[in-house]
Structure 1
Amino acid sequence: MKFSLASATLASVMAFSAVGISAPAHALDDQQKKEIGAYIKEYLIANPEIMLEVQDALERKQSEARNAKASEAVSSNQKALFESKFDISLGNPKGDVTLVEFFDYNCGYCKRAMSDMDDILKSDKNIRVVLKEFPILGPESLAAHKVSNAVKLVAPEKYPEFQRTLLGSTGRANEDSAMEVATSLGIDEAAIRKSMEESPNTPQVQEAYSLANNLGITGTPSYIIGTEAVFGAVGADPLKEKIANMRTCGKATCS
């Protein structure tokens, strides 16, 4: 039979693996290795769906590892995540569930995800949403977030409207566009610039970067619910489900 030797050898290797024994390298000669390679190649070409199964398994394994890392980091950084002095929250300040959003003013997905936050805040009167500024999309983002930090310090009551207006605007957010939004809300430009000079947002950015590194966050938007991280603009319904789970079983994902 064409693949009899290769099949038999491959079966032997699989048998060793099944009982936890590794076949020694010298157990296969060059001809056997060639035949096994050819057999595996032909089998995969004939059954390419196996590669999709392998890819799915790899992605699940990577996701599980990423979630485990995030869960451990959340447990170790509760105050910085949920009660940081640098952040302002929306919704119910005494809500029974807190949702943290990492965002960048120049993140297109964050802009589209605004409707998700609107939906959640409108439909859930017992949710608290913490806005975690995470400028990772270049110098213009850093500049816009500097203005944003000054707005929080100078006129915190106007920050929610400022944040929503700037995030919802078209074009690149930068210092000029952020300042334009701030002054349109009646915030004094001189006061903002004085705050930017006297209280730069360096500690805030350092804290956000440190948290993101520990949590495995590399993009925006990303969310924290309970001890679980949610990566990407997943939509309102999956977030609502995790919020509901927090109230049902105390975890974002119930067993």
Structure 2
Amino acid sequence: MKPLSRLVTGTATALALILGTPAAQAFDLGAMTAEERAAFGAEVRAYLMQNPEVILEAVNLLEQQQAAHEANRDDALVAANLEELHNDGYSWVGGNPNGDITLVEFLDYRCGYCRKAAPEVAKLLQADGNIRLIVKEFPILGEGSVMASRFAVATKQVAGDEAYKQAHDALIEMGSELNEVSMRRLAEGLSLDADAILAAMDSEAVTEELRRTRALAQNLAISGTPTFVLGNQLLRGYLPADQLKIMVDEQREENS
């Protein structure tokens, strides 16, 4: 929420709090004359001017209520989509496939924060050793993003999970725009069948996998990358390894 919007909303909330007091409720505001309402409004304005901290208190209260509402909503969304998140039958699974904690990541290869998050996630997996990572291809930043995800998914379908991991890592690190020449070079550099992968990119199987992931993201109200799902929590945005580790430990404690 922008500062001006918070101020306006906070003022409205402060008024609601004032009007919700027993003293204010003793008045029937609807029965007041125009002059009485004007006088009452002047009194309220004078009170807020003399006690501006009330507005800040109302803003803080409103933000706490909104955060609690969003957390409860996210918990419900994750619970309703848990099977598709953890066992869709097509998403790449890394880390420890038998780990006691599952971390799901929605990513876009052109997303700067996804690139920033990649070494942090790798650091977390290496340090912990008992986390199951699921990668969801969620291209939202234009045609270049879609092309990169199609290449990654086609690589997995044509050459398997190990080849996908190699292509995934290369795409995360690639700074240049993708085109047929660069994709062919990438595939050949990984000793993969470039012709088969490029031919599969526009297949119905690749399209369906991306469609299902997009539908899942919509069901979860995910609109940005990276977004992580850990336990019943939706974690929106970049997080360093140490913060992720704290959340993983909390999830383990909650599960025990």
TM tier, smaller: 0.7 to 0.9
**Partner residue in 2 for 1:5:** none
**Partner residue in 1 for 2:116:** 112
Matched, 1:71 2:75: yes
How does 1:40-79 map onto structure 2 within 5 Å?
A: 40-44=44-48, 47-79=51-83
Matched, 1:85 2:80: no
Matched, 1:238 2:229: no
CA–CA separation in structure 1 for the residues paired with 2:27 and 2:242: 49
Aligned partner of 1:113: which letter? A
Query: Percent of aligned pairs with the same residue?
Result: 33
Aligned residue pairs: how many?
Answer: 240
Question: What secondary structure is seen at the aligned counterpart in 1 of 2:21?
Answer: helix
8 Å Cα contact 1:116/1:235 also seen in 2: yes
8 Å Cα contact 2:184/2:198 also seen in 1: no
Q: Deviations over 1:217-252 (max 9, x none)?
A: 11111111111111111322222112112221218x
**Partner residue in 1 for 2:222:** 217
RMSD over aligned CA atoms reads: 2.8
* From 124, 131, 136, the counterpart of 1:127: 131
Rate the CA distance shift 1:217–1:62 in 2: closer, same or farther, 3 A.
farther
- Unpaired runs of 5+ residues, structure 1, are 1-9
Rate the CA distance shift 1:26–1:144 in 2: closer, same or farther, 3 A.
same
Rate the CA distance shift 1:55–1:203 in 2: closer, same or farther, 3 A.
farther
Matched, 1:145 2:149: yes
Rate the CA distance shift 1:46–1:209 in 2: closer, same or farther, 3 A.
farther
Question: What secondary structure is seen at the aligned counterpart in 2 of 1:209?
Answer: helix
CA–CA separation in structure 2 for the residues paired with 1:16 and 1:146: 62
Rate the CA distance shift 1:178–1:220 in 2: closer, same or farther, 3 A.
farther
8 Å Cα contact 2:200/2:206 also seen in 1: no
Rate the CA distance shift 1:11–1:60 in 2: closer, same or farther, 3 A.
closer
Shift of 1:173: 5.2
CA–CA separation in structure 2 for the residues paired with 1:49 and 1:172: 51
TM-score under structure 1 length normalisation: 0.81
Rate the CA distance shift 1:237–1:197 in 2: closer, same or farther, 3 A.
same
Aligned partner of 1:168: which letter? E
Q: Deviations over 1:116-149 (max 9, x none)?
A: 1021011011111111111111222112211111
Shift of 1:106: 1.1
